[in-house]
Amino acid sequence: MLSAKSLFQEILDNDESFALFCSIAAGGESQGGWENGRIAALVPPSERAMAGKISRHGADEDKHGRIFQALMRKRGLKPVPVPPDTDYTMLLEKYGIGLSHDRLRAEQPLAVEDIVVYLAHSRVTEQRAAEQMDMLRAYFADHPDVGKAVRMISHDEDNHLAYTHEELLRLAAAGHGRLIQRTLRACALAEIRIYRDVSLAVMAHMGRILGWSRARSALLAAGIHAVYAWERFAGWHRMVSLRMPERRNALGGTAPTAPEFA
């Protein structure tokens, strides 16, 4: 029976597909860590209170990258090159979602409008990340090899999502509401398209590694297209709504320095 759980179990059980999965995930998390670190360094004076939270966000992303690296080491595996068509983070930048890397490499302080762009981009992508980790936690929270990593990353992604809601609501109250909604909508519509394309690419690579039949690959591709159709019609709205989270000040304080899980 074809299900999300059986699909991920198959990827988990094969060394080559597991190395590709972890390499893709580690690369994206490490890139996110760098981006947040640069944004924290360039925060405008009026938003300096956010710098610590942005740094914490980046530290969490770096930690996640190390976790995926550690999962590979536990299996005696080495990272593999990430195919460009599976690089979600870089494709988002290519299509103008979030702050460009050229902008982040410059030493000029960001404007408040840049912080809105950063937070809107994060709100959309953290929604995706939190949902994916919720699914993996439901299936693999007690798995002897990956369970602890899944629980830890899922907890962090929930914190990141709560943080973006709270900060965007604060900026909306300060008069940036129209810019926030306009930017959220643009980010959401672009993200669902890029997520569809990346999902198709990842499944194509996994199918070659795992020897999936044409019929199975076609069924999975049809499912991905169906999800995109729903998101394009109505599902994107969940990525642009804002509500005060139960977890307040989720990224307050400094990043924890607990030892890695593995």
CA 123 to chain centre: 10
The pLDDT of residue 256 is 53
Count of other CB atoms within 10 angstroms of residue 47: 18
Kindly tell me if the per-residue pLDDT of 255 is higher than 90. no
- For the segment 218-245, the average pLDDT, to the nearest whole number, is 97
Nearest one of 187, 198, 196 to 239, comparing CA atoms: 187
- CB–CB of 36/57 below 8 Å? yes
Q: What is the rounded distance in angstroms from the CA atom of residue 131 to the CA atom of residue 134?
A: 5
pTM of the model: 0.93
19-63 pLDDT, tens digit each: 999 999 999 999 999 999 999 999 999 999 999 999 999 999 999
Q: Which domains does the chain have, with CATH numbers?
A: 4-239 (1.20.1260.10)
Q: What does the CA dihedral 237, 238, 242, 245 come to, rounded to 10 degrees?
A: 170
